[in-house]
Amino acid sequence: MLIHGFVRHTGVPFHAITTELEHNSVLRPLTTLEQDRALSLSVVPFAGNKVSLAAIRQVIQPETRLVVMTHGSNVLGSVQEIKPIAEYLYTNDIFFIVDGAQTAGHFPISLSDIPVGAFVFTGHKALFGIPGTGGFYIPDPDAIAITRQGGTGTDSQALTQPSDMPMRFETGTLNYPGIASLLAGLRFINTESLEEIERKGRDLTGYFIRELQHMPGITLYTTAPDLPVVSFNINSIDNHEAGFILVRAYNIITRTGLHCAPLVHERIDGRKGCIRASFSWFNTRDECRAAAEAVREVVESADPQISAD
Protein backbone atom coordinates (compact mmCIF):
# COMPACT_ATOMS: atom_id res chain seq x y z
CA MET A 1 0.00 0.00 0.00
CA LEU A 2 2.74 2.46 0.93
CA ILE A 3 4.98 1.67 -2.02
CA HIS A 4 2.19 1.85 -4.57
CA GLY A 5 0.77 4.92 -2.85
CA PHE A 6 4.11 6.71 -2.98
CA VAL A 7 4.47 5.92 -6.68
CA ARG A 8 1.00 7.25 -7.39
CA HIS A 9 1.64 10.36 -5.31
CA THR A 10 4.94 11.06 -7.08
CA GLY A 11 3.31 10.73 -10.48
CA VAL A 12 6.50 10.39 -12.53
CA PRO A 13 9.10 7.62 -12.71
CA PHE A 14 11.88 7.88 -10.16
CA HIS A 15 14.73 5.88 -8.69
CA ALA A 16 14.18 3.69 -5.65
CA ILE A 17 16.54 1.76 -3.41
CA THR A 18 16.05 -1.39 -1.44
CA THR A 19 18.33 -4.11 -0.06
CA GLU A 20 19.21 -7.77 -0.41
CA LEU A 21 17.78 -8.39 3.06
CA GLU A 22 14.19 -7.66 2.08
CA HIS A 23 11.12 -9.81 2.39
CA ASN A 24 8.94 -10.40 -0.67
CA SER A 25 6.39 -8.02 0.82
CA VAL A 26 8.86 -5.33 -0.25
CA LEU A 27 10.62 -6.98 -3.19
CA ARG A 28 7.49 -7.99 -5.08
CA PRO A 29 5.79 -4.60 -5.26
CA LEU A 30 9.08 -2.88 -6.10
CA THR A 31 9.96 -5.43 -8.78
CA THR A 32 6.48 -5.22 -10.27
CA LEU A 33 6.70 -1.43 -10.41
CA GLU A 34 10.15 -1.66 -11.95
CA GLN A 35 8.80 -4.00 -14.63
CA ASP A 36 5.97 -1.54 -15.22
CA ARG A 37 8.65 1.17 -15.58
CA ALA A 38 7.15 3.20 -12.76
CA LEU A 39 10.55 3.27 -11.11
CA SER A 40 14.12 2.13 -11.52
CA LEU A 41 15.50 0.06 -8.69
CA SER A 42 18.86 -0.44 -7.02
CA VAL A 43 19.35 -3.32 -4.61
CA VAL A 44 22.03 -2.71 -2.01
CA PRO A 45 24.04 -5.73 -0.88
CA PHE A 46 24.57 -6.52 2.78
CA ALA A 47 27.94 -6.98 4.43
CA GLY A 48 28.37 -8.56 7.83
CA ASN A 49 24.59 -9.21 7.75
CA LYS A 50 23.86 -5.47 7.67
CA VAL A 51 23.30 -2.71 5.17
CA SER A 52 25.19 0.46 5.98
CA LEU A 53 24.42 4.07 5.29
CA ALA A 54 27.62 4.19 3.24
CA ALA A 55 26.35 1.39 1.00
CA ILE A 56 23.06 3.22 0.48
CA ARG A 57 24.78 6.50 -0.26
CA GLN A 58 26.81 4.79 -2.97
CA VAL A 59 23.71 4.09 -5.04
CA ILE A 60 21.80 7.31 -4.47
CA GLN A 61 21.14 9.26 -7.64
CA PRO A 62 19.64 12.69 -8.30
CA GLU A 63 16.36 10.87 -9.17
CA THR A 64 16.24 8.85 -5.95
CA ARG A 65 12.98 9.49 -4.16
CA LEU A 66 12.36 6.35 -2.13
CA VAL A 67 14.26 3.90 0.05
CA VAL A 68 12.49 0.84 1.43
CA MET A 69 14.40 -1.20 3.94
CA THR A 70 13.84 -3.86 6.54
CA HIS A 71 14.53 -3.03 10.15
CA GLY A 72 15.34 -6.65 10.97
CA SER A 73 16.21 -9.57 8.71
CA ASN A 74 13.87 -12.54 9.09
CA VAL A 75 16.67 -14.87 8.01
CA LEU A 76 19.84 -13.46 9.57
CA GLY A 77 18.25 -11.87 12.62
CA SER A 78 20.31 -8.73 12.13
CA VAL A 79 18.80 -5.37 13.09
CA GLN A 80 19.73 -2.49 10.83
CA GLU A 81 20.92 0.90 12.06
CA ILE A 82 18.02 2.85 10.66
CA LYS A 83 18.46 6.09 12.62
CA PRO A 84 21.49 7.46 10.74
CA ILE A 85 19.97 6.25 7.48
CA ALA A 86 16.67 7.95 8.28
CA GLU A 87 18.42 11.19 9.22
CA TYR A 88 20.46 11.23 6.02
CA LEU A 89 17.48 10.45 3.81
CA TYR A 90 15.29 13.01 5.56
CA THR A 91 17.90 15.68 4.99
CA ASN A 92 18.00 14.75 1.33
CA ASP A 93 14.23 14.64 0.86
CA ILE A 94 14.14 10.91 0.17
CA PHE A 95 11.11 9.10 1.56
CA PHE A 96 12.12 6.25 3.84
CA ILE A 97 9.84 3.29 4.46
CA VAL A 98 11.03 0.91 7.16
CA ASP A 99 9.66 -2.61 7.32
CA GLY A 100 9.43 -3.27 11.05
CA ALA A 101 7.53 -6.56 10.72
CA GLN A 102 10.39 -8.49 12.34
CA THR A 103 11.30 -5.98 15.06
CA ALA A 104 8.11 -4.42 16.47
CA GLY A 105 7.57 -6.06 19.83
CA HIS A 106 11.10 -7.40 20.26
CA PHE A 107 12.68 -4.29 21.73
CA PRO A 108 11.82 -0.61 22.28
CA ILE A 109 11.75 1.46 19.09
CA SER A 110 11.47 5.21 19.60
CA LEU A 111 9.96 6.44 16.37
CA SER A 112 9.86 10.03 17.59
CA ASP A 113 13.68 9.95 17.45
CA ILE A 114 13.90 8.41 13.98
CA PRO A 115 12.71 10.59 11.07
CA VAL A 116 11.17 7.82 9.00
CA GLY A 117 8.66 8.43 6.24
CA ALA A 118 6.76 5.39 7.45
CA PHE A 119 7.34 2.48 9.81
CA VAL A 120 5.38 -0.69 9.12
CA PHE A 121 4.48 -3.40 11.59
CA THR A 122 2.54 -6.63 11.55
CA GLY A 123 0.36 -7.84 14.39
CA HIS A 124 0.98 -11.59 14.25
CA LYS A 125 4.67 -11.83 15.14
CA ALA A 126 6.26 -10.32 18.24
CA LEU A 127 3.14 -8.29 19.02
CA PHE A 128 1.35 -11.55 19.88
CA GLY A 129 -1.75 -10.95 17.77
CA ILE A 130 -3.41 -13.46 15.48
CA PRO A 131 -2.71 -13.28 11.73
CA GLY A 132 -4.58 -10.66 9.76
CA THR A 133 -3.56 -7.32 11.25
CA GLY A 134 -0.83 -4.85 10.53
CA GLY A 135 -0.34 -1.14 10.30
CA PHE A 136 2.09 1.70 9.90
CA TYR A 137 3.19 4.86 11.59
CA ILE A 138 3.30 7.75 9.12
CA PRO A 139 4.11 11.33 10.14
CA ASP A 140 2.92 12.78 6.81
CA PRO A 141 0.00 10.80 5.38
CA ASP A 142 -0.25 13.15 2.38
CA ALA A 143 3.02 11.68 1.06
CA ILE A 144 1.10 8.52 0.16
CA ALA A 145 -1.74 8.63 -2.37
CA ILE A 146 -4.88 6.66 -1.72
CA THR A 147 -4.79 3.35 -3.59
CA ARG A 148 -7.79 1.58 -2.10
CA GLN A 149 -11.34 2.76 -2.02
CA GLY A 150 -14.28 1.29 -0.25
CA GLY A 151 -16.59 1.66 2.71
CA THR A 152 -15.36 3.30 5.87
CA GLY A 153 -18.52 3.36 7.98
CA THR A 154 -18.36 7.16 8.02
CA ASP A 155 -19.11 10.05 5.66
CA SER A 156 -21.26 7.81 3.48
CA GLN A 157 -22.36 10.70 1.27
CA ALA A 158 -18.85 11.08 -0.14
CA LEU A 159 -18.28 9.07 -3.31
CA THR A 160 -14.53 9.26 -2.97
CA GLN A 161 -12.37 7.86 -0.19
CA PRO A 162 -12.06 10.26 2.76
CA SER A 163 -8.58 11.71 2.85
CA ASP A 164 -8.28 12.22 6.59
CA MET A 165 -6.78 9.64 8.91
CA PRO A 166 -7.35 6.85 9.48
CA MET A 167 -10.07 6.38 6.84
CA ARG A 168 -7.59 7.43 4.18
CA PHE A 169 -5.97 3.99 4.49
CA GLU A 170 -8.58 1.88 6.31
CA THR A 171 -11.08 0.47 3.85
CA GLY A 172 -13.82 -2.04 4.32
CA THR A 173 -14.83 -3.96 7.41
CA LEU A 174 -11.86 -4.16 9.70
CA ASN A 175 -10.60 -7.37 11.22
CA TYR A 176 -12.09 -6.79 14.66
CA PRO A 177 -11.07 -10.15 16.14
CA GLY A 178 -7.55 -9.52 14.89
CA ILE A 179 -7.48 -6.02 16.34
CA ALA A 180 -8.82 -7.28 19.65
CA SER A 181 -6.09 -9.91 19.71
CA LEU A 182 -3.50 -7.26 18.87
CA LEU A 183 -4.71 -5.15 21.79
CA ALA A 184 -4.45 -8.18 24.06
CA GLY A 185 -0.95 -8.78 22.75
CA LEU A 186 0.12 -5.22 23.46
CA ARG A 187 -1.28 -5.40 26.98
CA PHE A 188 0.57 -8.65 27.48
CA ILE A 189 3.84 -7.02 26.38
CA ASN A 190 3.28 -4.14 28.78
CA THR A 191 2.61 -6.58 31.59
CA GLU A 192 5.70 -8.70 30.96
CA SER A 193 7.89 -5.73 29.87
CA LEU A 194 9.58 -5.32 26.55
CA GLU A 195 13.00 -5.39 28.18
CA GLU A 196 12.30 -8.76 29.77
CA ILE A 197 10.97 -10.12 26.49
CA GLU A 198 14.13 -8.97 24.76
CA ARG A 199 16.33 -10.45 27.47
CA LYS A 200 14.65 -13.84 27.31
CA GLY A 201 14.84 -13.90 23.51
CA ARG A 202 18.58 -13.27 23.66
CA ASP A 203 19.04 -15.93 26.32
CA LEU A 204 17.21 -18.66 24.38
CA THR A 205 18.85 -17.73 21.08
CA GLY A 206 22.29 -17.63 22.61
CA TYR A 207 21.76 -20.99 24.27
CA PHE A 208 20.63 -22.66 21.04
CA ILE A 209 23.51 -21.16 19.06
CA ARG A 210 26.03 -22.36 21.64
CA GLU A 211 24.61 -25.86 21.28
CA LEU A 212 24.86 -25.80 17.50
CA GLN A 213 28.12 -23.95 17.20
CA HIS A 214 30.26 -26.92 18.11
CA MET A 215 28.29 -29.51 16.21
CA PRO A 216 30.15 -30.81 13.18
CA GLY A 217 28.07 -30.97 10.04
CA ILE A 218 26.18 -27.73 10.71
CA THR A 219 26.45 -24.44 8.83
CA LEU A 220 25.29 -21.54 10.98
CA TYR A 221 24.48 -18.38 9.06
CA THR A 222 24.68 -16.11 12.04
CA THR A 223 26.33 -16.56 15.41
CA ALA A 224 25.16 -13.33 17.04
CA PRO A 225 21.73 -12.36 15.78
CA ASP A 226 20.00 -9.32 17.23
CA LEU A 227 16.63 -11.07 16.95
CA PRO A 228 15.65 -14.49 18.31
CA VAL A 229 16.15 -16.17 14.96
CA VAL A 230 18.75 -18.82 14.11
CA SER A 231 19.21 -19.91 10.51
CA PHE A 232 21.32 -22.92 9.74
CA ASN A 233 21.73 -25.94 7.53
CA ILE A 234 22.57 -29.55 8.24
CA ASN A 235 25.18 -30.16 5.61
CA SER A 236 24.31 -33.74 4.70
CA ILE A 237 20.57 -33.34 4.28
CA ASP A 238 18.23 -31.06 2.37
CA ASN A 239 16.71 -28.37 4.59
CA HIS A 240 13.13 -29.40 3.73
CA GLU A 241 13.86 -33.00 4.67
CA ALA A 242 15.47 -31.91 7.89
CA GLY A 243 12.49 -29.74 8.77
CA PHE A 244 10.13 -32.60 7.97
CA ILE A 245 12.03 -34.93 10.29
CA LEU A 246 12.23 -32.37 13.08
CA VAL A 247 8.50 -31.73 13.12
CA ARG A 248 7.21 -35.23 12.49
CA ALA A 249 9.65 -37.22 14.61
CA TYR A 250 10.55 -34.67 17.30
CA ASN A 251 7.68 -32.15 17.42
CA ILE A 252 10.15 -29.36 16.75
CA ILE A 253 8.57 -26.84 14.38
CA THR A 254 10.97 -24.84 12.25
CA ARG A 255 10.56 -23.09 8.96
CA THR A 256 12.54 -24.27 5.97
CA GLY A 257 13.14 -22.95 2.48
CA LEU A 258 13.64 -19.38 1.34
CA HIS A 259 11.57 -17.61 4.02
CA CYS A 260 10.12 -15.17 1.47
CA ALA A 261 13.57 -13.55 1.27
CA PRO A 262 15.12 -14.95 -1.92
CA LEU A 263 17.94 -12.43 -2.24
CA VAL A 264 19.37 -13.26 1.18
CA HIS A 265 19.45 -16.92 0.27
CA GLU A 266 21.10 -16.16 -3.05
CA ARG A 267 24.00 -14.88 -0.97
CA ILE A 268 24.15 -17.33 1.91
CA ASP A 269 23.21 -20.70 0.42
CA GLY A 270 22.86 -20.35 -3.33
CA ARG A 271 19.05 -20.25 -3.07
CA LYS A 272 18.83 -23.76 -1.61
CA GLY A 273 17.19 -22.40 1.51
CA CYS A 274 17.85 -23.22 5.11
CA ILE A 275 16.28 -24.21 8.41
CA ARG A 276 15.17 -21.37 10.66
CA ALA A 277 14.44 -21.72 14.35
CA SER A 278 12.65 -18.77 15.97
CA PHE A 279 12.21 -18.36 19.69
CA SER A 280 9.24 -16.87 21.43
CA TRP A 281 8.51 -15.63 24.91
CA PHE A 282 6.67 -18.92 25.38
CA ASN A 283 9.66 -21.14 24.61
CA THR A 284 11.77 -22.54 27.41
CA ARG A 285 15.40 -23.53 27.81
CA ASP A 286 14.34 -27.17 27.99
CA GLU A 287 12.67 -26.82 24.60
CA CYS A 288 15.82 -25.25 23.17
CA ARG A 289 17.86 -28.09 24.60
CA ALA A 290 15.46 -30.65 23.11
CA ALA A 291 15.58 -28.89 19.74
CA ALA A 292 19.37 -28.85 19.73
CA GLU A 293 19.43 -32.53 20.67
CA ALA A 294 17.03 -33.34 17.85
CA VAL A 295 19.23 -31.47 15.40
CA ARG A 296 22.22 -33.44 16.68
CA GLU A 297 20.41 -36.73 16.06
CA VAL A 298 19.50 -35.69 12.53
CA VAL A 299 23.10 -34.64 11.86
CA GLU A 300 24.51 -37.92 13.13
CA SER A 301 21.95 -40.02 11.33
CA ALA A 302 22.36 -38.19 8.03
CA ASP A 303 26.14 -38.43 8.17
CA PRO A 304 27.27 -41.58 9.98
CA GLN A 305 30.86 -40.42 9.65
CA ILE A 306 30.11 -37.69 12.17
CA SER A 307 28.75 -40.04 14.81
CA ALA A 308 31.65 -42.39 14.21
CA ASP A 309 34.22 -39.66 14.91
Report in angstroms how near the CB of residue 194 gets to other proteins at its nearest. Answer: 37
Query: Restricting to residues 81-140, which ones interact with other proteins according to CB under 8 A?
Result: none
The yes or no reply on residue 301 touching other proteins (CB under 8 A) is yes
The yes or no reply on residue 25 touching other proteins (CB under 8 A) is no
In this complex, which beta carbon is closest to other proteins, that of residue 170 or of residue 297?
297
Report in angstroms how near the CB of residue 43 gets to other proteins at its nearest. Answer: 28
CB-CB neighbours of 158 under 10 Å: 11
Report in angstroms how near the CB of residue 250 gets to other proteins at its nearest. Answer: 6
Q: Which stretch, 52-60, 142-150, 198-206, 296-304, contacts other proteins (CB under 8 A)?
A: 296-304
Q: How far apart are CA 109 and CA 97, in angstroms?
A: 15
What is the 3-state secondary structure of the chain?
Answer: CHHHHHHHHHCCCEEEEEECCCCHHHHHHHHHHHHCCCEEEEEECCECCECCHHHHHHHCCCCEEEEEEECECCCCCCECCHHHHHHHHHHCCCEEEEECCCCECCECCCHHHCCCCEEEEECCCCCCCCCCCEEEECCCHHHCCCCCCCCCCCCCCCCCCCCCCCCCCCCCCCCHHHHHHHHHHHHHHHHHCHHHHHHHHHHHHHHHHHHHHCCCCEEECCCCCCCCEEEEEECCCCHHHHHHHHHHHHCCCCEEECCCCHHHHHHHHCCCCEEEEECCCCCCHHHHHHHHHHHHHHHHHHCHHHHHC
The yes or no reply on residue 300 touching other proteins (CB under 8 A) is yes
The yes or no reply on residue 295 touching other proteins (CB under 8 A) is no
Q: Considering CB under 8 A, how many residues would be counted as binding other proteins?
A: 14
In this complex, which beta carbon is closest to other proteins, that of residue 2 or of residue 302?
302
Report in angstroms how near the CB of residue 254 gets to other proteins at its nearest. Answer: 15
Q: Which stretch, 58-66, 189-197, 276-284, 297-305, contacts other proteins (CB under 8 A)?
A: 297-305
Report in angstroms how near the CB of residue 301 gets to other proteins at its nearest. Answer: 4
Query: Restricting to residues 203-262, which ones interact with other proteins according to CB under 8 A?
Result: 241, 244-245, 248-250
In this complex, which beta carbon is closest to other proteins, that of residue 203 or of residue 303?
303
In this complex, which beta carbon is closest to other proteins, that of residue 37 or of residue 248?
248
Residues in Cβ contact with 280 at an 8 Å cutoff, skipping those fewer than 6 apart: 228
In this complex, which beta carbon is closest to other proteins, that of residue 205 or of residue 256?
256
Q: How far apart are CA 279 and CA 281, in angstroms?
A: 7
In this complex, which beta carbon is closest to other proteins, that of residue 23 or of residue 255?
255
The yes or no reply on residue 292 touching other proteins (CB under 8 A) is no
Identify the residue among 127, 230, 264, 298 touching other proteins (CB under 8 A).
298
The yes or no reply on residue 287 touching other proteins (CB under 8 A) is no
Binding residues (CB under 8 A) for other proteins: these are 241, 244-245, 248-250, 294, 297-298, 300-302, 304, 307
